[in-house]
Amino acid sequence: MNAQSSQQQSSDGRHDDDAALTDFLASLMDYTPTIPDELVEHYLAKSGFQCPDVRLTRLVAVATQKFIADVATDALQQCKARQSAVVKDKRDKQQKDKRLILTMEDLSKALQEYGVNVKHQDYFADSPSAGLDPAARDE
Amino acid sequence: MSDGGKAESKTGKKSRITRAGEDNFGRAISKVAVAQICENVGFESFNESALDSLADLAIRYLLDLGKTAKFYSNLAGRTECNVFDIIQGLDDLGMSTGFSGASEVEFNCTISSGVVTEIRGYVESAEETPFAQPVPHFPVVGEWRLIPSFLQMGEMPGFKHIPEWLPAFPDPHTYIHSAMWNERVSDPRTDKIELARQHRKAERALLNLQQKLVCNGLPVASTSAEPDDYRSGLEVNDIENQVLANLPEDEDQDESPAILSGKRSGEAKMENHVTLLEMFAPAVEAMKDGLSDSGNEGEKNFLSKRPDGLAAKFSGEVRTEKHVSFLETFAPAIEAMKDGHSDSGNYGEKSFPGKRPAVCLEFKGDKNVFGESLDLRIRNKNFGRTAPCFGREDEKDDKKRRVEFILRQSLENQQELT
């Protein structure tokens, strides 16, 4: 009985879910994702994903967009944190340039949460003495 | 070395710009899309490397999602993916960050799934920013050019084991190399002999032509011509001898035209003689009137008889006193005749309308023909030149020039060969 009821419930739930899902997918068609459909289709085809339904491609596009937006938000927070930290040290100085720039540093910190290790070289030196103080260089 | 360095840098730049790596188009588009997303989030500018990394990340996410969804669909025994496969894939990818309801993934593969909920929330909250530019459908697939099969080519495969529907073999001329050699054997000696023979032939033809012209009464060349022009010189001498023979003869001037015409009736180039005669007609008349000297008469007759020889005579070889007096009297006429024979045409037209129109030939000598034709024309204007004569003269000029040129060349070559 319980199983039956639970099954019934779940089936009812499933119906509702399905209806909700279809509604959701329909709503997706109204929303135009930033990532173009052609690009998504190309890469899905490359990976073996085969589906003629446009809504699914839209779903994938939206999912990717959300993912990137999440990463960017984290990076932005990192950037803002750094800026506020700097400003805290020197208040008398004119407030730092308010421009928010997506740097590799912030990105790598943000991506570490997602399990993506992006390590960026700070600089490339052509000789060991490059970048040292003139005094040290003379030595 | 510095140039080498420059070249390298240039090529390096070029390679950076023009090298079309795989999937560059897709990457470029993803870069733009990612930049737009970041702008929406709040960033104002990017580092190039950061943007590249993020774009690469987006592409990888897409590929991963597709792969996972395909895996799930295959697991379910299908080839085509559906929404549940995608949701499961999303769950897989989102596992590291975590989402609500992650523990109930197996049961919630639908709208109540945590991932879907998040996406739904995102769709509702985020502002819609479509892609900045229209994107063409890519990758663009070129036309497939299949090799035609045996059947299509209308050929029969050579072997029994090859069916007709397979692509045909390439044509034998594309892979069989047949030896090639030059059949014609070129012998330099025979070539040289052949060349010499042709030169001699041309030379002979030219000289024949020259002879004909000379016989017709035109002075071929003055005796002061080039030493190698011996043949033409000989001919001139012949004419001169004839002239000298005729010198003592005493004939009326009136008869002379008749005689001359009679002489030349058989010749094709009668006009030349007539014209020369015409040229001297007024001069001769003047002589008649003014001269009492028998010598002059003789000369006059001589003139009428042999106008062609006159030029040779008058070019400076005064042999008798008669010539001297004659020269003095008829200096202008003599000059005109010396320089060219275009005058003859004019005179012909003027005095003897009944005769055939004058053929104005300017065949004076090797050296003089080219340079003086212009002068002749200018001088002839004074004598009242007529238009047709002028035109014909031009043609003859060109022909004569060519003939002279060839003759000169052949003679030069003759010297080389002999």
Band (B307; pLDDT cuts 50, 70, 90): very low
CB contact under 8 A, B82 and A59: no
Counting every residue written for chain B, the total comes to: 418
Give the closest-approach CA distance of B144 to chain A in angstroms: 20
pLDDT recorded at residue B200: 94
pLDDT of B198 strictly over 90:
yes
| Amino acid A84: pLDDT | 83
Query: Can you tell me the mean pLDDT for B212-230?
Result: 60
Taking the C-alpha atoms of residue B379 and residue B347, their distance in angstroms, rounded to an integer, is 13
CB within 8 Å: B43 and A47: no
Specify the pLDDT at position A131.
Answer: 67
Chain B, window 133-152: residues with a beta carbon less than 8 angstroms from a chain A beta carbon: 135-139
By C-alpha distance, which of B117, B110, B58, B123 is closest to B83?
Answer: B110
Smallest Cβ–Cβ distance between A107 and the set B53, B90, B96 belongs to B53
Greater confidence (B94 vs B360) lies with: B94
What is the pLDDT of chain B when averaged over all its residues?
66
Between residues B31 and B276, which one has the greater pLDDT? B31
- B344's CB contacts (< 8 A; 6+ apart) are B272, B274, B275, B276, B278, B279, B307, B337, B358, B360
3-class DSSP assignment, residue A101: strand
pLDDT at B299: 46
Helices in chain A by DSSP H: which ranges?
Answer: 2-30, 37-47, 54-89, 104-113, 134-138
- Whether the pLDDT of residue B264 is over 70: the answer is no
Mean pLDDT of chain A: 78
Chain A nearest CA to B120, separation (Å): 7
Choose the closest CB to A62 out of B43, B64, B119: B119
- Which pLDDT score, from 0 to 100, does residue B174 have? 85
pLDDT at B280: 54
String of DSSP letters for B281-332: HHHHHHHHHH---HHHHHHHHHHHH-HHHHHHHHTT---SHHHHHHHHHTHH
Backbone torsions φ then ψ of A62, nearest 5 degrees: -65, -40
* Among A56, A111, A113, beta carbon nearest to B83: A56
The Cα B240–Cα B222 span in angstroms is 11
- Round to whole Å and give the CA distance between B340 and B352: 20
Could you give the CA distance from residue A47 to residue B69 in angstroms, rounded to a whole number? 10
Which of A102-111, A128-137, B143-152, B322-331 comes out lowest in average pLDDT?
A: B322-331
Distance from CA of B1 to the nearest CA of A (A): 21
- Among A36, A43, A68, beta carbon nearest to B37: A68
Higher pLDDT, A76 or B149: A76
Test mutation, B30, B31, B123, B141, chain A, max A CBs within 10 A: B123
Quick one: pLDDT at residue B10? 47
Task: Band the pLDDT of B208: cuts 50, 70, 90.
Answer: very high
Residue B90, exposed/middle/buried by CB under 10 A (0-12, 13-18, 19+)? buried
**Angstrom distances, CA of residue B66 to CA of A3, B92, B93, B365, B387:** 36, 12, 11, 98, 96
User: Are B40 and A34 a contacting pair at CB < 8 A?
Assistant: yes
At B271, the pLDDT band (50, 70, 90 cuts) reads very low
In this prediction, residues B29-33 reach a mean pLDDT of 90
Quote the pLDDT of residue A95: 55
Q: Answer yes or no: do A59 and B86 touch at CB < 8 A.
A: yes
Nearest CA to B206 out of B395, B370, B407 is that of B407
N-to-C CA span, chain A: 89
Coil, helix or strand at residue B97: coil
Higher pLDDT, residue B354 or A108: A108
Confidence of residue B265 (pLDDT cuts 50, 70, 90): very low
Predicted confidence at residue B72, as pLDDT, reads 92
Smallest CA-to-CA distance from B85 within B94, B75, B95 is with B75
Instruction: Tell whether the model's pLDDT for residue A76 goes beyond 70.
Output: yes
* Calpha distance B207→B414 (Å, rounded): 13
In terms of pLDDT, which residue wins out, A26 or B213? B213
pTM for this predicted structure: 0.48
pLDDT above 70 covers a percentage of chain B that reads 44
Judge whether B30 is closer than 8 Å to chain A, CB to CB: yes
H or E element that contains B280: helix B270-290
Q: Is B128 helix (H, G, I), strand (E, B) or coil?
A: coil
Residues of chain B contacting residue A63, judged by C-beta atoms under 8 Å apart: 65, 86, 90, 115, 119
Shortest Cα–Cα distance, A83 to chain B (Å): 13
Looking at this predicted complex, what is its ipTM?
0.80
Which range has the worst mean pLDDT, A20-24, A57-61, B287-291, B404-408? Answer: B287-291
In chain A, what residues touch B119 (CB-CB under 8 Å)? Answer: 59, 62-63, 66
- Mean pLDDT of all residues in B159-186: 81
Q: Is B215 on the interface with A (CB under 8 A)?
A: no
Count CB-CB contacts under 10 A for residue A5.
Answer: 9
Residue B393's pLDDT is: 62
* Chain B interface test: which of A15, A24, A37, A49 (most B C-beta within 10 Å): A49
Q: What does the alpha-carbon distance between residue B239 and residue B261 come to, in Å, rounded to a whole number?
A: 18
Q: Half-sphere exposure of B65 toward its Cβ, with a 13 Å CA cutoff?
A: 30
